[in-house]
Structure 1
Amino acid sequence: MSGHVGGPRGPDNLGDRAVPANDTAEPTLKPSVTEPVEEILDVGQGLLDRGEIFLLSMMRESNLYQIGLAIVLFGVAYLLRITLGPRIRAWMGTREGWPKWRMRILVVIHQRLQAIFFVALLWGAVLILREVTWPSRSYLLGIIATLAFAWLTVVFLTRLIKSPFLRKLVRYGAWTYVTLRILGLTAEASRILDSIGFDLGEVRISMLIILQALVVVGALVALARFVTTTTSRRIQSNEDISPSMRVLIVKVMQIGFYGLAFYIGVKAVGIDLTGLAVLSGAIGVGLGFGLQKVVSNLVSGVIILLDKSIKPGDVISLGETFGWINTLGARYASVVTRDGKEYLIPNEDLITNQVVNWSHSDDFVRLDIFFGTAYHDDPHDVRKMAIAAAKSVDRVLSFRPPVCHIVGFGDSSVDYILRFWIKDPTGGLTNIRGNVYLALWDAFRENGVSIPFPQREVKMMGGEMPGLPKDTPDPQDD
């Protein structure tokens, strides 16, 4: 039996299969596809080799007792939590005068007591082992302690993110990164993720860049949201700034911080935005046609805030809607009516339609009510009674006294108008009118003033109803 054992096959040693002369030895996949696959396979093989070495090292006696010690410390941390947790909770219940932010920190700490105890016990054990034995006896335990501390730090930092989705995204991304960093696997993971991607012009879009962008941009957006929320609270509590300017400052600050966070995040991961300029321009033109109303409402909102024509707390009337401005948003204004309904009116309607602002320059509002009395009542006395009745109502202003005038002589009454001022239109207009009418009713009834109503007399001519035959019985006979 002859032939080569090992070594490359030559052209004359192709085995039992005959190959045509024009066949080539090139692979069937294109180089652009095979290169990432080969790189992933090489990195994967290297990780498998390192994993095999790691597993073999775990079988050593020094490493097994470190793993066992970590498990024992985890159990001790659990016992400490169930023992001290209720006592700490009861102590927290006695801290009634503390600020809310301090109580929130205590609640977060109480929720992670076991992890805190576990990290403290791990580092205590590592420090003791490093003093009484060789460093190799605590090497694995030190890695576990570092991982536990890093994971716990990520948990506390991500608690500042209010959005649940964004919090989970940043938390899991940070956990993955610190784990790879501590284990020394960042280079291999970066090579695998970077090999999965595609080219968009001069821009390289890979899985690594996408993950980095999600985590970095998410963290920066969360930071921008925290800063804007904290700053907006201080701005809203500043009485020296008008309400409309407060809203405008907060909106501009939010747009600036969020835009800056997105720009810094994209630049931090190495994405060149100039390569996407043409694509973003085309998308912008399409969005401009499709979002005309949205852009119009945004611009109208900015105009409203700048000219201060409408601000939070104003009482307005728009068509059949009467209420006060609750909030001014980027797209709409929230108007709350007296019956508890909340109307979301687009900002464009507040610019283009006629709006009655009852409290634009000041809070003083004049109301008019009409009534009539009989001709035999003295109009001078009626006017004095009406003014006194209006003054007796609580919300009617005394330093702007009511006035009463005759506006005409009707068919059956002398017609009057009673005008009075109030300073709290948010308290309602219909109810104050009703109270003044009740005061007028009581005053007129006490002084014998009558409120006439039309009366008609029907006179029958000839004793017979017209249009009926003579033999038709009279309906009054029934």
Structure 2
Amino acid sequence: MIGYANEGWELAKGWLLSPAAWSQFALLIVAYLLAVYVSRKVNPVLTRLLTPEAENQSVFAKARRFVAIFLPLVMPVLAFAFTAAGEGVVRSIFDSGAVIAFGKRVFLFLAARILVRDIVRDPFLGLLGKFFIVPAAALYALGMLPFVASKLEETVVPLGNLSFNLLWLIQFAVVGGFIFWLGQWSNSQSSTYLDKQEMRPATKQLAVKAAEIAIFGFAFLVLMNIMGISLTSLAVLGGAVGVGLGFGLQKIASNFISGVILLLEGQATVGDYVELDGGEAGTIVKMTARATFLETFDGRWIVVPNEDFITTRVTNYSDQGSANRYEVPFSVHYDTDINKVPDIIEAAVSKHPAVLQDPEAPDCELRALGDSGIEFAVEFWVNGIDDGKNKFTSEVLFIVWNALKDNGIEIPYPHRVLEIKGKLPQ
């Protein structure tokens, strides 16, 4: 460190005593002031040009908004450009430009810092810029980037029969992280686009999954190609994965294939209310490669392996549409004229706003001659699912009660006859 400090002092002393260095310092100051002046004049104009109306959501408007994000870079980029022009003039006159070249690198460092601090909003890209991009720009500004890169390249990390140098690992982390972030962004954009298309939910889910696999598969191939990794070297890894699938990962492979079958056949998709043979019931809110997520009426999520949808019996209440039939049982007294009951109940239930007349109007049926009363049940169709017999069934029960009371029909309750043999006690 003392040696580097001495070299820095000698360099600074040489710059301070050199007329060429003073002229370069002057050009740096002029370039900076000119960049500040031009940016203050240009930024308002660019802001007006790149800010469309709030209700404009076209592709061109979105592109303008995206470009406007980078307006804070105008000043350091202009300073870099003006300094580069001044460097050409200085080198032609003095055949030296170390000072102005250093200033140009400093402006580039400022641009990188502004980009990471003020422009990047994604947490992962911000982390990448904070720990890799800004330090690399700082080393470049100080002229130490080649030295540090050579030291990192000389430092080899052994990993069994393989070995990597630190520079390669850093490059792999930066490039790989950016490529897979770009893949994640592309996947979200494609999912948003596919969600807006008119197609069956199962087909839409399959298209989203296919696009996701294609995007990340392509990102993986691009990363391998950029880093110079031969795909043939992955054959051993592929064989190991195949053995793992054959032994320890059978369930994962089975669930993945079952998920693909579900998406292809469309027997259950997002938004359907299903009930499995094991008792699990709920609305499908999410389908992944491994499992399907059901949301119950009380807000809980049930994770069901995809294999269960293939190997067990599944009742899909939403497969043929949103209409479902329910029934409400009730009883009347034996003194009732039961011929009037169906017309009274059917007319009353039909007035409920959620009860449908198609595919069938409310139907009141005589079910049994019970011990305490005559048993009836009214069947009705509604759109949607009765959440645990607490929504439509409850409302129709109120209607039945009020209709019977309004018509003077008694609802029975159990009666018991007590027979006493012999004389009653005194």
**TM bucket by the smaller chain?**
0.7 to 0.9
The alignment status of 1:265 with 2:223, answered yes or no, reads: yes
Q: Distance in 1 between matches of 2:308 and 2:121?
A: 33
Provide, for residues 433-452 of structure 1, a one-character-per-residue CA deviation record: whole Å limited to 9, x for no partner: 11111111111111111111
The alignment status of 1:338 with 2:338, answered yes or no, reads: no
Structure 1 stretch displaced more, 373-382 or 288-297: 288-297
Q: In structure 2, which of residues 192, 196, 221 is the aligned counterpart of residue 233 of structure 1? A: 192
Q: Distance in 2 between matches of 1:81 and 1:293?
A: 61
Q: Which residue of 2 aligns with 1:316?
A: 274
Q: Which residue of 2 aligns with 1:302?
A: 260
Provide, for residues 356-412 of structure 1, a one-character-per-residue CA deviation record: whole Å limited to 9, x for no partner: 210112222111221111122222210111111221111111232121221211112
Asked if structure 2 preserves the Cα contact closer than 8 Å seen for 1:202 and 1:275, the reply is no
Provide, for residues 105-160 of structure 1, a one-character-per-residue CA deviation record: whole Å limited to 9, x for no partner: 488447xx3x5434334534654686799665866435533553476369759999
Corresponding residue pairs, total: 417
Q: Which residue of 2 aligns with 1:357?
A: 316
Q: Cα distance, 1:235 vs. partner? A: 0.7
Superposed counterparts of 1:132-211, under 5 Å: 140-145=99-104, 148-149=107-108, 152=111, 164-165=123-124, 167-169=126-128, 172-175=131-134, 188-197=147-156, 205-211=164-170
Asked if structure 1 preserves the Cα contact closer than 8 Å seen for 2:273 and 2:318, the reply is yes
Asked if structure 1 preserves the Cα contact closer than 8 Å seen for 2:365 and 2:377, the reply is yes
Look up the SS of the partner of 2:353 in the other structure. coil
Superposed counterparts of 1:43-192, under 5 Å: 58-59=15-16, 60-63=18-21, 66=24, 96-97=54-55, 99=57, 101=62, 105=66, 108-109=69-70, 113=72, 116-124=74-82, 127=85, 140-145=99-104, 148-149=107-108, 152=111, 164-165=123-124, 167-169=126-128, 172-175=131-134, 188-192=147-151
Q: Which residue of 1 aligns with 2:372?
A: 412
Q: Distance in 2 between matches of 1:165 and 1:316?
A: 38
Q: Cα distance, 1:343 vs. partner? A: 2.7
Q: In structure 2, which of residues 341, 348, 355 is the aligned counterpart of residue 382 of structure 1? A: 341
Q: In structure 2, which of residues 178, 199, 204 is the aligned counterpart of residue 219 of structure 1? A: 178
Look up the SS of the partner of 1:379 in the other structure. coil
Asked if structure 2 preserves the Cα contact closer than 8 Å seen for 1:170 and 1:215, the reply is no
Look up the SS of the partner of 2:302 in the other structure. strand
Look up the SS of the partner of 1:380 in the other structure. coil
Residues 52, 222 of structure 1: alpha-carbon distance in 2 compared, 3 angstrom cutoff: farther
Q: Which residue of 1 aligns with 2:214?
A: 256
Look up the SS of the partner of 1:327 in the other structure. strand
Superposed counterparts of 1:413-432, under 5 Å: 413-425=373-385, 430-432=390-392
Look up the SS of the partner of 2:285 in the other structure. strand
Q: Which residue of 2 aligns with 1:10?
A: none
The alignment status of 1:326 with 2:304, answered yes or no, reads: no
Look up the SS of the partner of 1:417 in the other structure. strand
Q: Distance in 2 between matches of 1:55 and 1:47?
A: 12
Structure 1 stretch displaced more, 65-74 or 394-403: 65-74
Q: Which residue of 2 aligns with 1:433?
A: 393
Q: Cα distance, 1:234 vs. partner? A: 0.6
Residues 382, 72 of structure 1: alpha-carbon distance in 2 compared, 3 angstrom cutoff: farther
Q: Distance in 2 between matches of 1:308 and 1:149?
A: 54
- TM-score (normalizing by structure 1): 0.70
Match for 1:359: what amino acid?
A: S
Structure 1 stretch displaced more, 258-267 or 413-422: 258-267
Match for 2:287: what amino acid?
A: L
Asked if structure 1 preserves the Cα contact closer than 8 Å seen for 2:295 and 2:302, the reply is yes
Residues 85, 398 of structure 1: alpha-carbon distance in 2 compared, 3 angstrom cutoff: same
Residues 186, 134 of structure 1: alpha-carbon distance in 2 compared, 3 angstrom cutoff: same
Bigger Rg, structure 1 or 2? 1
The alignment status of 1:451 with 2:411, answered yes or no, reads: yes
Asked if structure 2 preserves the Cα contact closer than 8 Å seen for 1:315 and 1:426, the reply is no
Asked if structure 2 preserves the Cα contact closer than 8 Å seen for 1:217 and 1:266, the reply is no
Q: Distance in 2 between matches of 1:294 and 1:129?
A: 62
Tell me how large the CA RMSD over aligned residues is: 4.6
Residues 271, 177 of structure 1: alpha-carbon distance in 2 compared, 3 angstrom cutoff: farther
Asked if structure 1 preserves the Cα contact closer than 8 Å seen for 2:258 and 2:307, the reply is yes
Q: Distance in 2 between matches of 1:158 and 1:277?
A: 42
Look up the SS of the partner of 2:303 in the other structure. strand
Asked if structure 2 preserves the Cα contact closer than 8 Å seen for 1:396 and 1:421, the reply is yes
Structure 1 stretch displaced more, 262-271 or 186-195: 186-195
Asked if structure 1 preserves the Cα contact closer than 8 Å seen for 2:332 and 2:410, the reply is yes
Match for 1:277: what amino acid?
A: A
Asked if structure 2 preserves the Cα contact closer than 8 Å seen for 1:244 and 1:306, the reply is yes
Asked if structure 2 preserves the Cα contact closer than 8 Å seen for 1:203 and 1:271, the reply is no
Asked if structure 2 preserves the Cα contact closer than 8 Å seen for 1:408 and 1:414, the reply is yes
Q: Distance in 2 between matches of 1:155 and 1:217?
A: 23
Match for 1:313: what amino acid?
A: G
Q: Cα distance, 1:338 vs. partner? A: 2.5
Q: Distance in 2 between matches of 1:306 and 1:52?
A: 72
Asked if structure 2 preserves the Cα contact closer than 8 Å seen for 1:126 and 1:138, the reply is no
Residues 186, 129 of structure 1: alpha-carbon distance in 2 compared, 3 angstrom cutoff: closer
- TM-score (normalizing by structure 2): 0.78
Asked if structure 1 preserves the Cα contact closer than 8 Å seen for 2:69 and 2:119, the reply is no
Q: Distance in 1 between matches of 2:118 and 2:221?
A: 24
For structure 1, the 5+ residue unaligned runs are 1-43, 466-473
Q: Which residue of 1 aligns with 2:240?
A: 282
